[in-house]
Each structure stands twice: as C-alpha cells, then as structure tokens.
Amino acid sequence: MALPTIPRSQVEPVPIVRLSRTFNVSAAHRLHSIYLSDEENQKIYGPCNRQYGHGHNYKITVTLAGQVDPQTGMVVNLCVLKSIAQRYVAELLDHRNLDMEVDYFIKRPSTTENLAVLVWQQMRVGLRDTGLPESLLDDVTIEETDANRVSYSGKYAPN
C-alpha cells in the first residue's frame, strides 16, 4: 500500500524569495512644478530648474517577491521579468524628455520620487498583462546618481 503524499506546506515552510532585475535608462527632465511660481521653483529646485533641463542615466532595479515554485525552482523566470521591464518601463522612458514625452509628468514634477511611482505602476500593468499576480512586485529602486537613490514599495499615506 502506497503512503499518502503530504503537501509540501505541511512538511516544510514555503520560502518567499526576492529577485531583482536592474536596467538603465537615459532621460532628460527639468524639475519644475506647475503649482509653484517661477521664483518658488528656482528656490526649491535650484540648478535642476534651469530652462533647458538636464539628464540622468538612471539605474532602475525592480524586485519581485514570492514563493519558490517546487517544480521550476523559480519565483518568476528572470527572462520574463527582463521582458516586462523592457516593454513597460524602458521603452516608455529611455532617451526621452520626461516632461515633454511622458504623460504622467504633465501635472507632476519629474522628480525621482514620482518616477519611482510611475515605474511601480508600469510594472504592475506588465505583470498583469503577462498573467502574473501584481502582488509579486515588492520594490522599485532608482539610482539617479551614485549618491542619490529612491525606493518605492507601493505604500500610500492614509487620506
């Protein structure tokens, strides 16, 4: 008589593993808020508010977290993650003027903070369109320079 199979979750804990994909995009922008006067913009943003803007080589890392599939040994195939990041983020942002070519920045300043929120939103759409749960998305980190880094993990302040 064969012994019954015990589900893996009853035998050992199911590991939750984080995996990340890093890629680069080059983009231009000008830090400027339509809600502030020219003087206020200059005071807050300094040289980043210059009329013709400036550019960055952004280093973007998207991180997913989920259960390791016992059959594949993966949370998600990294090739799928790479494809989503390319299609939904890099193609939207790379070699663009963020303020003039990305609708998200029509009514908000193109700060790295707002860029991180946009990347988060785009990755969620990409996961959903690929048939993967949006809940896999764990973190978006953007390095604007070697010294400046912004992370977003999908949290919102209470209203």
Q: Write down the pTM of the prediction.
A: 0.90
Contact 152, 118 (CB under 8 A): no
Query: What pLDDT is stored for residue 81 in this prediction?
Result: 98
Query: What pLDDT is stored for residue 65 in this prediction?
Result: 98
Query: What are the extents of the domains in the chain?
Result: 18-152
Establish whether 48 is a catalytic residue.
yes
Query: What pLDDT is stored for residue 2 in this prediction?
Result: 65
Which pair of structure tokens corresponds to residue 33?
């808020």
Contact 138, 119 (CB under 8 A): no
Question: What residue ranges of the chain have pLDDT lower than 70?
Answer: 1-11
Establish whether 32 is a catalytic residue.
no
Catalytic residue among 40, 54, 95, 101: 95
Which ranges constitute the DSSP H helices of 30-103?
A: 38-45, 78-85, 91-93, 98-101
Nearest residue to 119 (alpha-carbon basis) of 89, 149, 156, 159: 89
Greatest CA separation found in the chain?
Answer: 83
Q: Mind listing the pLDDT tens digit for each residue in 64-92?
A: 999 999 899 999 999 999 999 999 999 99
CATH number at 18-152: 3.30.479.10
Establish whether 40 is a catalytic residue.
no
